[in-house]
Structure 1
Amino acid sequence: MLLPNQIITDLDAALLATGEDVTLRRITKVAGNPVIKDVVCRAAVRSVSADEIVGTIAQNDLRVIISPTQIMLAAWPGADEGTPAGSAVDQRLPRATDKMVIQGKERQVKVSKPVFVAGTWVRCNLVVAG
């Protein structure tokens, strides 16, 4: 079995070779004013397949795979004032209220499924509005 750091290293190499840069964006409020928090991530971006079109997933939506590497290096999103103190949710994990800029177009994250191996976050599978 591969160790989590090897899984991340392998994913990073694959994304570097065949992926593209996207921007993960979270909009928070500080003192009532919107603050945009961005991080550029390497990603595999693909159209959803016919068998994935169910519920709120539409034909023009996109499947996106990202590594945690750029998020961790940037310490994204930083302090999140919209999060209750003591929250058990890791604020670095992408969530459905986030946006993603793909090929210059801002899109809505619809589904975020982080993948953990031995308690370590190794990748995130997302569905993003097309």
Structure 2
Amino acid sequence: MTPDQAISMLDRQLAQHGQTVKLRKGNTAAGEAVVKAFVRGIAADEIAGTITQSDKKVTVSPTGLATFGMPAAGGSVVVDGTPRAIVGSPEILKMDDIIVRINMVVKG
């Protein structure tokens, strides 16, 4: 599988089954990006440190983030109208040094 194929597969799944979220660099709506994401709960075995079952895992594609840039610690994701702070640094998954998926844990 190539990076382009991996991104295309993720984009198709997000288009069909994802939900709309907003990525923000801080706590302001200026410059936010509206994207599709998978939003899931935290499993019991993923609870550690400050992560609780009320937090969420958010997965987005790098597609459409050229202007916004990569989500980062200190940013937020608006899920169902509620801003949720990104916990730590997002997990950036790469294939052949090309970003194919961004996973984040959000709190709030």
Length-normalised TM-score, structure 1: 0.77
Question: How many aligned residue pairs are there?
Answer: 107
Gaps spanning 5+ residues in structure 2: where?
Answer: none
- Where do 1:1-130 residues align within 5 Å? 2-27=1-26, 36-72=30-66, 75-76=67-68, 92-111=69-88, 112-130=90-108
Q: Please identify runs of 4+ aligned residues in structure 1 that moved more than 3 A.
A: none
Q: Please provide the CA RMSD for this pair.
A: 1.6
Gaps spanning 5+ residues in structure 1: where?
Answer: 29-33, 77-91
Q: Secondary structure at the match of 2:32?
A: strand
Identity of matched residues, % = 36
- Largest Rg, 1 or 2: 1
1:96 CA displacement: 1.4
Aligned partners of 1:22 and 1:41 also within 8 Å: yes
The letter for the 2-side match of 1:21 is: T
